[in-house]
Amino acid sequence: MGSVTPRLTYLGSESRQNQSSTGIRCSALPVLRAQGEVSGRALIDIGSGPTIYQLLSACAHFEDITMTDFLEVNRQELGLWLREEPGAFDWSVYSQHVCLIEGKGESCQEKERQLRARVKRILPIDVHQPQPLGTGSLAPLPADALVSAFCLEAVSPDLASFQRALDHITTLLRSGGHLLLIGALEESWYLAGEARLAVVPVCEEEVREALARSGYEVRDLRTYVMPAHLRTGVDDVKGIFFAWAQKKVGV
């Protein structure tokens, strides 16, 4: 993610706000790839932030996963978790929920062990650059699939920037490859500690149009209204969207 959120503040907020919304955030991940089409060798997570929940379902279908973030502090946090170092954030609530949804009898420890084994690198990224990973990237390109959760709208000041960021990350994806895009609907701000950070508000139709302009066929797009009891005052989000899109051949 591209915000200037301090590690402890961000993860503290992640814990307080989202443990109760774990189901909303995680439930669509296995659903979107349930048809068995979203698989391959290489997956890139665009704007991972300091979080890993967005990969818990996908890790079973890709053997080479690249995590990315603009902020070094977030990349360091991911490294703590991957190395199982003291002080790393505990994602077991999310892991347990994904295992429950998938229904394979897998334990959260097995799920996290698989993800750790398949994350091969953590790289810096800037989605506002035409080459988001820079030149000479260590990631295998083009990737078979991209995942991006709550990143593009959070780091884009307006819809035009959101569109360009989507165009830029699409260059990392092979023709026929898949994008799983997850984001906030009609959110204009969120709190990071005492800082109030701006977000470009997007609606479902704007997400559809942006994907089409970037050369995708939208395979599935689902939206969820944020229940009142989950609106804790740390943002003004109205809902969440989950999009599964496929890059058109020749794009």
pLDDT digit string (tens) for 176-216? 999 999 999 999 998 888 889 899 999 999 999 999 999 99
Tell me the whole-structure pTM to 2 decimals.
0.89
What does the chain come to in residues?
251
Instruction: Please report, in tens digits, the pLDDT of each residue of the chain (251 residues total).
Output: 443 333 333 343 343 344 444 545 554 554 445 456 788 999 999 999 999 999 998 899 999 999 999 999 999 999 999 999 999 999 998 999 889 888 899 999 999 999 999 999 999 999 999 999 999 899 999 999 999 999 999 999 999 999 999 999 999 999 999 999 999 999 999 888 888 989 999 999 999 999 999 999 999 999 999 888 888 888 899 999 999 999 999 87
38: Cβ contacts below 8 Å, ≥ 6 apart: 32, 58, 61, 145, 178, 180, 244
pLDDT at 5: 38
pLDDT for 28 equals 52
Q: What angle do CA 102, 79, 196 make, to 5 degrees?
A: 85
Q: Do 54 and 29 meet the contact criterion of CB atoms below 8 Å apart?
A: yes
The confidence score (pLDDT) of residue 77 equals: 96
Q: How many CB atoms lie within 10 A of CB 19?
A: 11
Which pLDDT score, from 0 to 100, does residue 35 have?
Answer: 53
Q: Contact 242/222 with Cβ under 8 angstroms?
A: yes
pLDDT tens profile 212-239: 999 999 999 999 998 888 888 888 999 9
**CA gyration radius, the chain:** 17
Q: What is the pLDDT of residue 241?
A: 94
